[in-house]
Structure 1
Amino acid sequence: MDGLTDARIAAVIRTLADQRAGRSFCPSEAARALTDDWRPVMPDVRRVAAGLADIKATQKGQEVDPLTARGPIRLARR
């Protein structure tokens, strides 16, 4: 996972959010954009997303904390 900084992860999350324009996306899309071996990166994607004031995480339409939510979540711009 060389070169996977929080800044790079945040940039990918924000780029995907901008591309979706009002729609949400799965955090795995960000992880897949960062590396072929994406599964180990998922906790980092959730952690970084939790620290971005302009990004929200939802589960079944309700806003959740991406660090504590269990199961699938979606990310989007606030």
Structure 2
Amino acid sequence: MSGPQAGAVTDAAIEDTVFGLLSARRPGATICPSEVARALAADEAAWRALMPRVRQVAQALAEAGRLHITRGGQPVDALEAGGPVRLGRPD
């Protein structure tokens, strides 16, 4: 059985999953946005389709000061091209 389709996943569910995954990690640890997408959509096509929304929600959380987004250890905008990003709790 596969998970919900990308369109059926709410921003609130993405946010809850981000913070749920982070709470299961040690302080200072980060997660990959794909971990969030995979937790919400079981099959590969669905989680890949969800990735842009995960990044959008992550960026909104960062702008609200609730999440820290980095690439290569440097703060970045999750929506900018340039490679993989990591999500973590703010300092």
CA distance in 1, matches of 2:70, 2:54: 14
2:56 corresponds to: 47
Aligned to 1:35: 41
Question: Share of identical aligned residues, percent?
Answer: 46
Q: Distance in 2 between matches of 1:42 and 1:70?
A: 15
Tell me which residue corresponds to 1:14: 19
Structure 2: gaps of 5 or more residues: none
- The TM-score with structure 2 as length reference comes to 0.79
Q: 1:56 to 1:69 in 2, by over 3 A?
A: farther
Stretches of structure 1 that go unaligned for 5 or more consecutive residues are: none
Runs of 4+ in 1 over 2 A off after TM superposition: none
Deviation of the 1:56 alpha carbon: 1.0
TM, length-normalised to structure 1: 0.91
CA distance in 2, matches of 1:14, 1:69: 24
- One-letter code of the match for 1:8? A
On the 8 A contact 1:18/1:77 being kept in 2, the answer is no
Aligned: 1:62 with 2:74: yes
- SS of 2:24's equivalent in the other structure is helix
Cα distance, 1:19 vs structure 2: 1.5
- What do the CA deviations read for 1:17-74 (whole angstroms, capped 9, x no partner)? 2212320111100000000221111000000000113111100100101011421110
